[in-house]
Amino acid sequence: MRDREPKLRVLFLCTGNSCRSQMAEGWARTLKSDGIEPSSAGVETHGLNRRAVKVMAEAGVDISEQRSKHVDDLRHVCFDYVVTVCDRARESCPVFPGAARTVHRSFDDPPLLARGASTEEEALAPYRRVRDEIRAFVETLPCSLRDAET
- Segments making up each domain of the chain, as ranges: 8-141
Residue 43 neighbours by CB distance under 10 Å: 21
Predicted pLDDT at 140: 95
Residue 89 has pLDDT above 70, yes or no: no
Q: Report which of 72, 81, 2, 71 is spatially closest to residue 37, judged by C-alpha positions.
A: 81
Mention every residue, 6+ apart, whose C-beta is less than 8 A from residue 25.
Answer: 12, 38, 39, 40, 63, 66
Average pLDDT of the chain? 90
Give yes or no: 19 in active site. no
Q: How far apart are CA 22 and CA 39, in angstroms?
A: 8
Residue 3 has pLDDT above 70, yes or no: no
Q: What is the pTM of this model?
A: 0.91
Residue 115 neighbours by CB distance under 10 Å: 10
Residue 150 has pLDDT above 70, yes or no: no
**In this predicted model, what pLDDT tens digit does every residue of 22-72 receive, in sequence order?**
999 999 999 999 999 999 999 889 999 999 999 999 999 999 999 999 999
The CATH label, of 1.20.58.340, 3.40.50.2300, 2.120.10.30, 1.20.1250.20, for the domain at 8-141 is 3.40.50.2300
86 in Cβ contact with 107 (< 8 Å): yes
Per-residue pLDDT band for 1 (boundaries 50, 70, 90) equals: very low
Give yes or no: 86 in active site. yes
Who has greater pLDDT, 4 or 104? 104
Q: How far apart are CA 23 and CA 127, in angstroms?
A: 10
